[in-house]
Amino acid sequence: MKYWPLDAGRIVTSPFGPRDGGMHTGADFGFVGGSGGRAVYAVQSGTVIYAGAARGYGGPDPAGWLVIDSDDQQGGGVFEYGHIVREVGAGAKVIAGQRIGRINPDSSTNGGVAPHLHLSYMPREYNPARKQDPLPVLAGAAEPGQPTQPSGGNAVTIFGIDISNNNGVVDIDQVKAEGFQFVWAKVSEGATFRDVFWPRTRDWCRRVGLALAGYHYIREGDANAQADNFVAQLGDRSIPAMLDFEDGSGGIDNFWAVKNAIEARGVRVALSYIPRWYWEKIGKPDLSRVPGLIQSSYVNGTAYASVLYPGDDSPRWAAFGGKTPDILQFTDKALVAGKSLDANAFRGTLAQLKALLGAQPETPGAPDYEREIWDQLRLRWEMLGWQTLIEAFAEVRDKVLGTSDHGKTGVRP
């Protein structure tokens, strides 16, 4: 598969052929209004054989050029990219559509030209005497940044990222341009920590139209205090919540307590990040009723998400706790928007993912009595001094009968 070397909107500023009494042995590409700094993408997969400073293209390194050789299975031939600042080095293996550099905006280091990309093509080995017009080779090429499916993947598998303050500012425009369709971003942790990057990420994702969930890292401790912290930082209660339940989160009872406390404040908990290793650590509790189970199992290496993804039939998708994962976090080293990030896969369409994130349709006249009774018994109520119904009843019983059973937690079968 081949990709255009620049984003949509590019123009050919100078074609292959005779020019100024000589021969222009490539095609020049740019953008109306300026091209400096614009991303350059690999036309096809291959291996970088030359990189850095080059006569006519500029320097010092990393300014200059890239030359990428492709075997027959990758499309064959050699492409030469000039007047750029490289972002990969000699020997690197690149994939079709991968960002490999940017147009050099500095005429003092780009060969003394107005910023543009010069693209040359050689049909076999690297041989400057055999350069041909690259435009016929690019006929039918895909636009860079469009989602592509990995080998063996489902035609409707989509990808997203998981980010937090640890990642700093992530360019959400670029995330979308690279084909990702959803973002899980940290909102809070425990009863006091609030992620300062959340408001920016929230508003940015909404502006570009990416599916979004905000997550809370559960810690042991007061569930109501954690829920208050999360909801206050979330800012918009229509945004679905994800619970990050892992090291330091306590037992499964703590998960349900925080979930119920958040939902009692009007926010729907749609996703549950529970790694298999943590599930095993806390005694393998039943997970059949947790919303939107996310499992993490990382492959090796650093590359683009679609390259790293182990496939829809990977054993990493295997069920545990009585539930098959809805989403798989398969790497913490996906190359996204110039950063190394956690990446997730969802085996379904964007519409199906949005259905998972949104409230399920209710059948008129058929309320969920089981859920309502469960909430009545498990939730803590302000009118009862933030006690559950059982705790409040025990307190009243103690006062009436003069007993001291309030606070005991044992049950008799």
Look at residue 394 in the predicted model and tell me its pLDDT: 81
pLDDT in tens, 21-64: 999 999 999 999 889 999 999 999 999 999 999 999 999 999 99
Q: What is the pLDDT of residues 393-402, one digit of tens each?
A: 888 888 888 8
Task: Determine the Cα–Cα distance for residues 301 and 291; give it in Å rounded to an integer.
Answer: 30
pLDDT at residue number 378: 61
Which tokens is 215 given? 């997550």
pLDDT score recorded for residue 407: 58
Share above pLDDT 90 across residues of the chain, in percent, rounded to a whole number: 70
User: What's the rounded Cα separation, in Å, for the pair 343 and 31?
Assistant: 32
Check residue 174 and give its pLDDT.
Answer: 87
Say if CB 200 and CB 169 are below 8 A apart: yes
Segments in the chain below pLDDT 70: 145-156, 359-382, 386, 405-413
**Residue at token pair 């339940």:** 245
CA distance 374 to 372: 5
- pLDDT in the model for residue 391: 79
pTM reported for the whole predicted model: 0.56
Domains and CATH numbers, the chain: 11-138 (2.70.70.10), 157-357 (3.20.20.80)
Is residue 104 within 8 A of residue 80, CB to CB? The reply is no
